[in-house]
Amino acid sequence: MRSDLFRRTTCPSSPATRFVLFPSLLLLLHLLSSTAADAPTAYDELLEYDFPVGLLPKGVTGYELDKSTGEFKAYLKETCSFKIEGYNIKYKTTISGVIEKGRLKNLKGINVKILVVWLNIVEVSRHGDQIDFSVGIMAAGFGVSNFLESPQCGCGFDCNNMFLEKVLTSSY
């Protein structure tokens, strides 16, 4: 008789119970997947601090940001190099620094080749429609409109012409 009582008090599997549990599970799964999908990206965070997305190349795999201090890290799958406006640029797999409205400082992981020397870009600041890149001893300014899209590793912003050049030179 005791075993019969035990069977009745365990989780009932009547159709009414399944009817309530199944939609609840679906709702929970939907909430979990939508919060992961709605999480801001590193590119969204740049916009939040008044920077264009093109300061980071395509392919950022993740990032960390401490909103209280502004300390951040952005991650790429591999080292990323390309040429912009005659400058060779290289991003390491981890880019770090401190972000605040209109200013990225204490940067590590972004280099620019000037003449024959690779220098670290240590600060990026925005002044209206101008973005200034500083290597400490020198700075160069560019229009914000140059960075509205993210550059692509290997070809920067000029991937169509690069592809065309490769096709034309390899066909001979």
> For the segment 137-151, what is each residue's pLDDT rounded down to a tens digit?
899 999 999 999 999
Taking only the tens place, the pLDDT of each residue in 5-62 is 444 444 555 555 444 455 554 444 545 544 455 789 999 999 999 999 999 999 999 9
Domain boundaries, the chain: 11-40, 42-170
Measured distance between the N- and C-terminal CA atoms of the chain, rounded to whole angstroms: 90
- What CATH number was assigned to the domain covering residues 42-170? 2.30.240.10
Output the CA–CA distances (angstroms, integers) from residue 77 to 59, 70, 94, in the order listed.
Answer: 7, 23, 9
pLDDT (tens digit per residue) in 117-136: 999 999 999 999 999 999 99
**Sign of the CA dihedral 26, 27, 28, 31?**
positive
CB distance 78 to 85 below 8 Å: no
pTM above 0.75, yes or no: no
Q: Is 70 left (phi over 0), alpha (psi -120 to 50) or beta?
A: left
